[in-house]
Structure 1
Amino acid sequence: MACPMLDITTFAPIVPAPFQAVLVTSANALPALRDWPKDRLIVAVGGQTAARAREAGFANILAAAGDAQALAGLCRRHGITGPDVLLASGVGYGVELARELNVQRVEVYAACKRTALPEDVRAALRDNRVDSVMLYSGKTAEAFRDALGSEEVAALGRVRALCLSEAIAARLNSGEWRAVTWPDPLEQIGAVV
């Protein structure tokens, strides 16, 4: 059962420029790069974003282990820092990362939290018909939790949270869930590189 917790608004594609690399903290940034050369180095926050970059036609991709800290470390190890690197991110995202790596940053999408769950999702949680919830970002996790009523919060004890990264899992109150899991980042990197 699908229950998106963020409404994504993508902005106009950005004009290609001679940056050494483009850092991507979310697959939501990729539509902004549609006109960019497909051999441009894309440095993705994690395996899922790297896979989406490959699907978009990019051929030169590095994948970090799923969060901004891992992305920063990967960039430093490969010398991908400085003003000839571009960070394509959402509104309000990546500010600290851009500062840390001294890269240029452009906002290419907005992510707005939904404030309520559809009634069929609420009912499924209350009636024990949900085994797992997939959480794609920290903001998704926050929006999901904030949208729950007390009955749905109580139902989380029977539900497993599947997070794309350990950083997302860290945003959850693990005591509320039956289990909180995330993939092995090395398996994710190996699957796309």
Structure 2
Amino acid sequence: MERDKHHFHHLSPHLQLFDLTKTYFLIAGMTGVNPFVATGSVMLARFEVQVALQYEIDIRDIGDSFTTGYIPYGTKVPTPAMYPQDFYGTEAVSLASKSILNDTTAAQSYRANYGFLPATTGPSIVACDGAISDVYYSGTILSEAFRNLTKLLTNGTDNYCATAQEDSAVLEPFMRATTAGFVDFARIIVMRTASDFD
């Protein structure tokens, strides 16, 4: 670790003053939630997957053979058929599960429109994963396309439930700080509370 810290010295000599490996960081925000996974809940991410780094064809132009207009880089078919060929660039759940989340009659009435579980259930603490995109998206087809990609990129272990925009930009410096030995990446908590269904 000392060698890595010395390597990063040229970036900022002040970095050597900090050892944040025992520090927890909380990244909080709101999210669109997958109604097939959760409802007006608090999501604590295990994975954050950048789903917007793909080719995109307008779905009106792709014909019946494709289920989505998103295609992984370096491939010619939509997910989950082929893994991308080109690339760019906990204890929180158990503690949070003791919380009692607020519910309202307005939220209950809105949820009732969906007619399936868990969309119609009350708010809860959910351990699931985020899809990061620069596009504010909504709808069943896009949700399914990004769920398929997150599952593919995590070798089937992802449980996509939350949307996000800035998480990849926030997490990248933490990853670099972890590599340099200043931060423990396992102590970063990404928490998002539901604002709408995706």
Shorter-chain TM-score: which interval? Answer: under 0.3
* TM-score after normalising by structure 2: 0.23
Larger radius of gyration: 2
Compare relative contact order (CA 8 Å, sep 6+) and give the higher one, 1 or 2.
2
Which structure carries more helix by proportion? Answer: 1
